[in-house]
Amino acid sequence: MSQLAPLDTTIEVVTPENIAFKYQLAGPFRRLPAFLIDVLVKLAIILFAVFAVALLAGITGSQLIGVFGFAAINIGWFMVWWFYGVAMETWCNGRTLGKMAMRIRVVTVSGHPIGGVQAMLRNLVCVADLAPPLSLQFFFEDAPPVYLIPTGIAALIAMTCTRRMQRLGDLAAGTMVVIDERGWTLPVARVEDTRVPALASYIPPDYRVSPSLAKVLALYAERRMFLSPQRRRELAKNLAAGLGDRFEFREDLDPDLLLYALYWRTFLADARDQDVDLQPLAGYSPMLKDAHLVAAEPVADSSDASLVEVAVVMEPDRDLEASIPPESRP
């Protein structure tokens, strides 16, 4: 008897730029709590509006405020109930408050952030996903035969039958729900190039590396020892684009050494150690303001710099560009 293969919720997306990266799909046990949290948020907003209008009408004693307030509440209820998800997913990178709590977000099937049209389409079709509804008589015998209680069976069937776990709204909008990547293992590395700490001392102390850039630096440090010097500089030039201008560094500074120094400053440097030996730079200053004072030294040649890997968490035979999402680049 053949054994069933385990369920694989990982999907690989290849962008038009021929860059491949993986997403972990969010299943119903993550999406249902997020949906319920969003429902509670909607109800809280509507109840707050009702309480505010009733309080204002009670304080002023004006019936006109009550009438207009009641009309405003009905309009607001419609807007909140139907467009809360649209607005949040459009302006919060595919996330609502419920999705933020469950650490999931909506992306397109090509791995890009969703737009307003896609967010609206998937939220409007949500009505079909909640079908078929149950009658109130299912719970209360004396209740009228009104079908108000959604079951979500249509969404569950659609997610079960699609490779990307898409409900009907996702199929219509061309989207999927993935798990936000929070925890990941950093490669433990030891920097032996003495120029790296010296160069890192020139990086502004108030500069904070974002989580996406930190992952890029970790992946680059992990793969660096497997790349030729030419390929190393080619990748570093693309990954470090904009960092030199932000730090006001010279254009002749080797981008590979810059990424290496930023990696050291981010993961390996001791904030308590204020004494940095600048002798390895041999009088070279990476600052743009010193370009007319100090001639370029052989610091731009970092082909002899070594990075000793202590632990490797990803396969070294894959290309670095294939493991970095476009939005993770600095």
> Is the distance from CB of 213 to CB of 326 less than 8 angstroms?
no
Residues 6+ positions from 74 with CB-CB distance below 8 Å? none
> 93: how many CB neighbours lie within 10 A of its CB?
16
Rounded mean pLDDT, 114-137? 90
Domain ranges of the chain: 10-179, 189-328
Q: Binning pLDDT at 50, 70 and 90, where does residue 306 land?
A: very low
Give dist(CA 150, CA 163) in Å, integer.
24
Q: Using one digit for the tens of pLDDT, what is the confidence trace for 130-166?
A: 998 888 777 777 777 778 788 899 999 999 999 999 9
What stretches of 201-265 show up as alpha helix (H) in DSSP?
Answer: 211-224, 229-239, 243-247, 255-263
Q: Using one digit for the tens of pLDDT, what is the confidence trace for 36-89?
A: 999 999 999 999 988 888 888 888 877 777 788 888 888 989 999 999 999 999
Report residue 304 as tokens: 């002899």
Residues 6+ positions from 137 with CB-CB distance below 8 Å? 143, 144, 145
> 57: how many CB neighbours lie within 10 A of its CB?
18
Give dist(CA 204, CA 213) in Å, integer.
16
Which of helix, strand or coil describes residue 105? strand
> Is the distance from CB of 256 to CB of 238 less than 8 angstroms?
no
Report residue 2 as tokens: 């053949």
Does 319 score more than 60 pLDDT?
Answer: no
Rounded mean pLDDT, 315-321? 42
What φ, ψ does residue 218 adopt, rounded to 5°?
A: -65, -40
Rg of the Cα atoms in the chain:
27
Give dist(CA 211, CA 187) in Å, integer.
15
Rounded mean pLDDT, 314-329? 44
Q: Using one digit for the tens of pLDDT, what is the confidence trace for 33-43?
A: 999 999 999 99
Q: What distance, in Å, lies between the first and last C-alpha atoms of the chain?
A: 51
Predicted pLDDT at 305: 42
> Is the distance from CB of 256 to CB of 304 less than 8 angstroms?
no
Give dist(CA 324, CA 271) in Å, integer.
28
Single-letter amino acid code for the residue at 46: I
Predicted pLDDT at 99: 95
> Is the distance from CB of 165 to CB of 176 less than 8 angstroms?
yes
Rounded mean pLDDT, 263-276? 67
Q: What mean pLDDT value characterizes the chain?
A: 77
**DSSP letter string, 22-78:** EEEBP-HHHHHHHHHHHHHHHHHHHHHHHHHHHHHHHHH--HHHHHHHHHHHHHHHH
Predicted pLDDT at 7: 59
